[in-house]
C-alpha cells in the first residue's frame, strides 16, 4: 500500500470525503422520505459500493490476465 510518508495511505482522504458527502446526501434524501434513518441506511449501502468502485478505479492489478477468473468470482 502506497503511503504519503505520514503513514496515511494515498487516496484515503478522497474516499473519506466522498463517503462524508454520500452520508450528507443520504440525510438530505431521508428528510423528504420522512426518516433520516432510511436516508442513512441508503447512504451506507451506496458507500460500500463507492468503496468498491473507488478501489477498483485505483486498481493496482490493471491488465493482469487470469484465465481461471471468469468474472463471477469475488
- Rounded Cα–Cα distance for residues 15 and 27 (Å): 19
Banded pLDDT at 55 (limits 50, 70, 90): confident
What is the dihedral angle through the alpha carbons of 22, 27, 32, 36, rounded to the nearest 10 degrees?
130
Mean pLDDT of all residues in 58-73? 64
Banded pLDDT at 12 (limits 50, 70, 90): confident
- Tell me, yes or no, if the pTM score tops 0.75: no
Does the structure show a pLDDT above 70 at 13?
yes
Amino acid at each position: 500500500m502506497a503511503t504519503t510518508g505520514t503513514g496515511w495511505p494515498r487516496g484515503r482522504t478522497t474516499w473519506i470525503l466522498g463517503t462524508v458527502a454520500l452520508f450528507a446526501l443520504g440525510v438530505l434524501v431521508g428528510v423528504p422520505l420522512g426518516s433520516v434513518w432510511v436516508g442513512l441506511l441508503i447512504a451506507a449501502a451506496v458507500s460500500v459500493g463507492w468503496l468498491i468502485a473507488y478501489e477498483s478505479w485505483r486498481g493496482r492489478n490493471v491488465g493482469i490476465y487470469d484465465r481461471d477468473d471468469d468474472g463471477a468470482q469475488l
